[in-house]
Amino acid sequence: MKITLTKQPKQKPDFSKLGFGKYFTDHMLVMDYKDGAWGEPEIVPFEPFEMSPASNVLHYAQGIFEGAKAYKNEKGEITVFRIDDNFIRMNNSATRLCMPTFDAKVVKDALFELLKIEKDWIPTAKGTALYIRPTMIANQPVLGVHASHVYKFFIILSPVGSYYANGLEPTKILVEEKYVRAAIGGTGEAKCMGNYACSLIGGEIANQKGYDQCLWLDAAEHKYVEEVGSMNMFFVIDGVVITPALVGSILPGITRNSCIQVLKKYGYKVEERRISMDEVYDAYKSGKLNESFGSGTAAVISPVGTIGYHGEDMLINNGEMGPITKFLYDKITGIQNRVEPDEFNWVTKVN
Ligand code: COI
């Protein structure tokens, strides 16, 4: 693999004040597709791409991405969490967006080389990681609406802390009742750029009203809980953990799947099914809504303290992190940081 190292390494940020996605490492991985085939991956300095203003991703959003994380322990050992699942999902997203799939093994090996080069950028404090952002864009300068024949795949890396400014403090979420994120048959289950663009308005409305995020409902009836956009949703009702079933319009979250596997193994009752906001509200009114949390690579396990619905704020578990949320947070971050045994075979060593 061709590797070109930067002549101007950047000054690293203060790892105790990272936030999310604000800093980028010195190098990135790039791989180009043309004439019906992917070229070799290459490691190059992190710098702007040159692309035509007519490039089709800029007009028709034929673009997909992933989010994964790498960790480093005090011995300098680098690991990644469930990275194969990210590449499987990315290839599924590629197929949905009429983009070429790629050889996950080739990309994983190249990513591992990049991580070794960037090892000093991996923060080690609790709650921090090196965020991995694989991305694929259509890159043909043509305005006809059809699948591109030219693509660019790249991976950038960003040292991160918690996704939410207030860390693990329970978030406030507003149910969005007018706009929708995705309909069945659409692209909701693909990790494509357009899903995030169309969901911005819900976040803006929620922020204006003093909430952190919005909760999307299904497109057909505006009745069933879907997801938050940056997280999948879970509710604990009368001791049972319920998460919306993957009906086609919801992102099949890797952390969501990790939560389900951990909960089942540890004897919790888990239901993957459609759950309406009315059911959540009734459970709240009858004192049976014990906990709620979101899951995601960036968000990890984020407690939800308040859900705004029909002009009323439902305060969940007194606005505090509940015991099942805490159990999952500790177990999953414990496995990621290798302070808990890797009982599900989710961790891969890089060096
Ligand atoms: C992730 O959790 O990795 C995501 O991609 C969600 C968000 C940051 C866009």
The sign of the dihedral angle between the CA atoms of 114, 80, 334, 73 is negative
Q: What pLDDT, in 10s, does the model give residues 76-99?
A: 999 999 999 999 999 999 999 999
The Cα angle at residue 246 between residues 240 and 251, in degrees rounded to 5: 110
For ligand 1, whether the C-beta of 294 sits within 6 Å is no
From the CB of 140, is ligand 1 less than 6 Å away? no
Mean pLDDT by 10 residues, the chain (351 residues): 97 96 98 98 97 98 98 96 98 98 98 98 95 98 97 98 88 97 97 97 98 97 96 98 98 98 98 98 98 96 97 96 97 96 98 95
* pTM listed for this prediction: 0.97
Q: Which ligand 1 atom minimizes the distance to the CA of 66?
A: 5
Cβ pair 137, 148 in contact under 8 A: no
CA of 213 to the centre of ligand 1 (A): 13
Residue whose CA lies nearest to ligand 1 atom number 9: 230
CB-ligand 1 contact for 297 (6 Å cutoff) = yes
Ligand 1 center–CA 66 separation, angstroms: 7
Ligand 1 neighbourhood includes 199 CB (under 6 angstroms): no
For residue 27, give the nearest of 118, 125, 127 by alpha carbon.
118
Backbone dihedral angles phi then psi of residue 281, each to the nearest 5 degrees: -65, -45
Residue 21 Cα: closest atom of ligand 1: 8
In tens, the pLDDT along 197-234 reads 999 999 999 999 999 999 999 999 999 999 998 999 99
> In this predicted structure, what is the pLDDT of residue 229?
83
- Sorted by sequence, the CB contacts under 8 Å of residue 23 that are 6+ apart come out as 12, 13, 158, 159
Q: What pLDDT, on a 0 to 100 scale, did the predictor assign at position 164?
A: 86
Q: How many CB atoms lie within 10 A of CB 312?
A: 10
Residue bearing the CA closest to ligand 1, atom 6: 230
Residues 39 and 113: their CA atoms lie apart, in Å, by 17
The predicted structure's pLDDT at residue 165: 81
pLDDT tens digit sequence for 65-77: 999 999 999 999 9
Which of ligand 1's atoms lies nearest the C-alpha of 299? 2
Tens digits of per-residue pLDDT, 19-48?
999 999 999 999 999 999 999 999 999 999
Residue 296 beta carbon below 6 angstroms from any ligand 1 atom: yes
pLDDT (0 to 100) of residue 168: 86
- Of ligand 1's atoms, which has the minimum distance to the CA of residue 20? 8
**pLDDT of 167:** 81
Residues across the chain:
351
Please tell me if the CB atom of residue 229 comes closer than 6 angstroms to any atom of ligand 1. no
What b/e string do you get for 216-225 counting C-beta neighbours within 10 Å, with b at 16 or more? bbbbeeeebb
Give the mutation target among 81, 297, 332 for probing the ligand 1 site: most ligand atoms within 8 A of CB. Answer: 297
Residue type, position 303, single letter: P
191, 216, 230, 259, best to mutate for ligand 1 pocket (most atoms within 8 Å of CB): 230
Q: Beta strand pairing status for 300-309 and 171-175? A: parallel
Separation between Cα atoms, residue 171 and residue 192, nearest integer Å:
25
SS (H, E, C) the chain: CEECCCCCCCCCCCCCCCCCCCCCCCEEEEEEEECCEECCCEEEECCCCCCCCCECHHHHCCEEECCEEEEECCCCCEEEECHHHHHHHHHHHHHHCCCCCCCHHHHHHHHHHHHHHCHHHCCCCCCCEEEEEEEEEECCECCCCCCCCCEEEEEEEEEECCCCCCCCCCEEEEECCCCCCCCCCCCCCCCEHHHHHHHHHHHHHHHHCCCCEEECECCCCCCEECECCCCEEEEEECCEEEECCCCCCCCCCHHHHHHHHHHHHCCCCEEECCCEHHHHHHHHHCCCEEEEEEEECCCEEEEEEEEEECCEEEECHHHCCCHHHHHHHHHHHHHHCCCCCCCCCCEEECC
Q: Quick check: CB of 230 below 6 Å from ligand 1? A: yes
pLDDT value for 289: 98
Q: Taking Cα atoms as reference points, which of 279, 287, 282 lies closest to residue 316? A: 287
